[in-house]
């Protein structure tokens, strides 16, 4: 199991844009420091919907009742001291979802849940993958490692160890959909 970082982060979604690609996927609007996780996701071109989820999420730090907003998740993931891992579903993975599921996911609380279960609060390179649970910001997520193949929740891991200046990205082929949006 992967341990939690010392800071308690709570991501809260605030807004959602509409994409014009025909499937209702939003597009990112921010610019980010070169080489950071967020900048690399944007530059890659396969992660517009995921970056949009990050842009809609505010990050709070501190104990319950005394949280302070430190920025949106895209800004925080674009900072030099972030040092996290993102299991990044592609736009293709988002586009396979039904429109009502996407609409549900981009509602405030649901987007928060989705973002949180795609982020591990430490750098986790593929050589550290083990069958068991990975502790994301949103809680434990199952990981299965079978030889050279690995899965994260129900998603296959397509590409690993995309190094950023402040973390690492692993590309996955499915979105972890909050249970309230399934069906």
Question: What's the total number of domains in the chain?
Answer: 1
Distance CA 124, CA 31 (A): 25
pTM exceeding 0.85: no
Instruction: Tell me if 4 is assigned to some domain.
Output: no
Instruction: Tell me if 1 is assigned to some domain.
Output: no
- CATH number, domain at 173? 2.30.180.10
Instruction: Tell me if 183 is assigned to some domain.
Output: no
Instruction: Tell me if 150 is assigned to some domain.
Output: yes
Instruction: Tell me if 62 is assigned to some domain.
Output: yes
Range of the domain at 164: 9-177
Instruction: Tell me if 23 is assigned to some domain.
Output: yes
Instruction: Tell me if 58 is assigned to some domain.
Output: yes
Q: Are 48 and 92 in contact (CB under 8 A)?
A: no
- At 23, is the pLDDT very low, low, confident or very high (cuts 50, 70, 90)? low
Distance CA 10, CA 8 (A): 7
Sheet harboring 9-13: ordered strands across?
A: 9-13, 57-61, 68-72
Instruction: Tell me if 182 is assigned to some domain.
Output: no
Give tens-digit pLDDT for 128-137.
Answer: 999 999 999 9
Q: Are 96 and 154 in contact (CB under 8 A)?
A: no
At residue 64, does pLDDT exceed 50? yes
Arithmetic mean of pLDDT, 120-142? 95
């Amino acid at each position: 199991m992967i341990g939690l970082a010392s800071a308690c982060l709570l991501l809260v979604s605030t807004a959602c844009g509409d994409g014009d690609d025909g499937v209702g996927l939003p597009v990112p609007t921010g610019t980010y420091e070169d080489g950071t996780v967020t900048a690399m996701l944007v530059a890659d071109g396969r992660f517009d919907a995921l970056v949009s989820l990050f842009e809609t999420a505010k990050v709070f730090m501190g104990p319950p009742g005394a949280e302070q907003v430190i920025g949106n998740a895209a800004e925080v993931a674009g900072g030099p001291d972030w040092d996290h891992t993102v299991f990044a579903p592609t736009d293709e993975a988002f586009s396979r979802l039904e429109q009502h599921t996407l609409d549900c996911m981009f509602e405030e609380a649901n987007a928060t849940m989705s973002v949180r279960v795609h982020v591990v609060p430490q750098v986790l390179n593929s050589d550290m993958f083990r069958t068991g649970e990975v502790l994301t910001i949103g809680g434990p997520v199952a990981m299965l490692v079978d030889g050279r193949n690995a899965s994260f929740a129900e998603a296959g891991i397509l590409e690993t160890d995309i190094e950023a200046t402040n973390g690492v990205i692993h590309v996955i082929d499915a979105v972890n959909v909050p249970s309230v949006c399934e069906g």
